[in-house]
Amino acid sequence: MKSVLVLAFVTVAAAGCATISEYSPFSKPNANLKANQELRSKWGGKQTDEFFAKLGAPANKMTNPTGQFVYVWSRQESVAGTTYFCDLRIIANSSGKIGDIEVTALSIGKRSSNFCDEISW
């Protein structure tokens, strides 16, 4: 009887998780693909100073073992109790030239499937 109850609990818990993930923007494959393509097309090869002057300062900056700079950039907006966000990782060489830029986390947008697609890059 105990094993039947455990099995029933695990089945219900798994079903609940599947239902929740159905609505999560993080569960959609390539949900951030459009933003990544736009970011790389516009900012790849440009200077980080230019990016930050237009879009705001990074939240964090680190140096990786190869001497590249790794920036964490975030945009958040709160509207009527809902917070929308788009987080990026920007990798630049020692002179500040952007080698890679990608979305690392995002929320559902105010007007679209994800908030990163709503930012004017």
Strand, coil or helix: 78: strand
Count CB-CB contacts under 10 A for residue 55: 15
pLDDT digits (tens, 9 = 90+) for 105-119: 999 999 988 899 899
Q: Phi-psi bin for 35: left (phi > 0), alpha (psi -120 to 50), beta? A: alpha
Q: How far out from the chain centre does Cα 76 lie?
A: 11
User: Please, what is the average pLDDT of the chain?
Assistant: 80
More confident residue, 4 or 86: 86
Which of the following CATH numbers is that of domain 30-118: 3.30.1450, 3.40.50, 3.10.620, 2.30.29?
3.30.1450
Instruction: State how far the Cα of 14 lies from the Cα of 21, in Å rounded to an integer.
Output: 11
Encode pLDDT of 31-67 as tens digits: 457 888 899 999 999 999 999 999 999 999 999 999 9
DSSP 108: -
Q: Where are the domains of the chain?
A: 30-118
